[in-house]
Chain A
Amino acid sequence: MKPAPFVHHAPRSVEEAVSVLAQVGHDGKILAGGQSLIPVLNMRLASPAHLVDINRVTGIDQVEVGDDAVRVGALVRHAELEYHEGAYAALPLLRQALVNVAHPAIRNRGTTVGSIAHADAAGEMPAILALTGGVVEATGPRGAREIAAVDFFQGPLETSLAEDELAVAVRFPRFAPGTATAFAESARRHGDYALAGVAAAVTVRDGVITDARSSFVSVTDVPSVLDLTDVVGGSEPGTADWAAAAEAVRAHVEPEADIHATADYRRMLAGELARRVLCQAAENAATTKGSSDR
């Protein structure tokens, strides 16, 4: 299990990275944390001729907490975001989800932007970008552009990033006041890819649910957001019809079977996890905790 040969590029700036990508992008891969890419290389399931190693690129390693959003640079490791107190205060959902990403040693190396660009439907952070209505900031030879999550994820492991574009950052917008979030997933082993995972954000105003939505891990092709406001909006958290919300989730998801679980089981699990996290988020929103602790 040794990777095939490749040419290693180590650009120092975004501009240099983009110019290298312009030359080799069709036959190359970007290496950031490498925690998904290198296993694939070691197994020789992929043998790109070029690796554009962005680990020495300057200026893309910051977490910036703004009034509207948390902006995460391409070299921010999962663990840095997980432990970032400002990010946690602004958007607890980030940490709620990140603690489910593999194991600490992987989170110390893997990058949040990388896992979003990898667009694995079993990844937690694509689902979080989707639920927050986030944005991917991309730079390429044609300049910089912003891609909304809804346009970014095209299919399993497929995004709208061009092969010569680099995702330099993502922005996770903050939720409206009165919103609380929760995240849960079920994996065979702690740290494994989830059989199903659900993120929820519920807004409560004056004791009444005004907005409820969730996004999913491992049970949809691409991260998608299900708006459940029609189902539970107008209710109080304690009396909302969470069973109906779960039913809507079961109808929404399109899980596939693999060796670890059947599609039916994953569907059931998505519904049950949704019931639990929606309920939890709603209660937290109502009690103005605004977040649940790790």
Chain B
Amino acid sequence: MTDMTTEQVHDVTVNVNGVPRTATVPARRLLSDFLRHDLELTGTHVGCEHGVCGACTVLLDGKPMRSCLMFAVTAQDHRITTVEGLCDAPDARPCATGERMNPAQQAFAECHGLQCGFCTPGFLTTVTAYLEENPSPSQEEAREAISGNLCRCTGYQNIVKSVLRAAEIRTERLEENAGESA
């Protein structure tokens, strides 16, 4: 252990959901805590802090990673997308109560893909990135895609269903967007 002199701090700037955000934090600040407590973006949740549960999954330069297994200083100058940022995606649409939802968010709400909602942000970031890679997964592939995230409520069945539904919505909106820009 180091001695008790005042801990060295770093000015960390990370592009979060399209906006450069800076906070002064010690080197040991986990990216999850940086997002939640320094930037007060509490949509990202912390379920185990040892990388197993996936609740804290965010997109780093578009790829899902565990924010509890990264230090904020290492994320310097990278691009982070949290669940809040999914709402600003080009294929997000406002729902009846006003929230903007991307296809994954919309599908989880439609298919009862969540119960307590605590693990959900990690699933949503994971699924959003997965559909970029595989826009029309089979049921088996959908199950595989979410198999690195723990959920204690749903038994996963409606999450699998949500992934398949999200793929449909995503395709519909891609076509809409293409139509608009044509």
Contacts and interface: CB of A to CB of B under 8 A. Distances in A.
Q: Which of B7, B73, B145 has the most CB of A within 10 A?
A: B73
Interface residues of A, number: 32
Given A39-B69, A106-B66, A2 B30 contact: yes
A257 interface: no
Given A2-B28, A3-B28, A39 B51 contact: yes
A53 B12 CA distance: 15
Nearest to B56: A105
B173 to A, nearest CB: 24
Nearest to A50: B2
B69 A34 contact: yes
A82 B116 CA distance: 35
Interface in A89-109: 102-106, 108-109
Given A2-B28, A6-B28, A7-B27, A109 B147 contact: no
A191 B148 contact: yes
Contacts of B69: 34-35, 38-39, 106, 109
Interface string B136-174: 000000000101100000000000000000000000000
Interface in A149-184: none
Nearest to B28: A3
Interface string A1-14: 11111111010000
Given A38-B51, A55-B74, A108-B64, A5 B28 contact: yes
B8 A35 contact: no
B171 to A, nearest CB: 22
Interface in A1-29: 1-8, 10
Contacts of B8: 7-8
Nearest to B66: A105
B126 A105 contact: yes
B21 interface: no
5 contacts: A8-B10, A38-B71, A105-B54, A105-B148, A191-B148
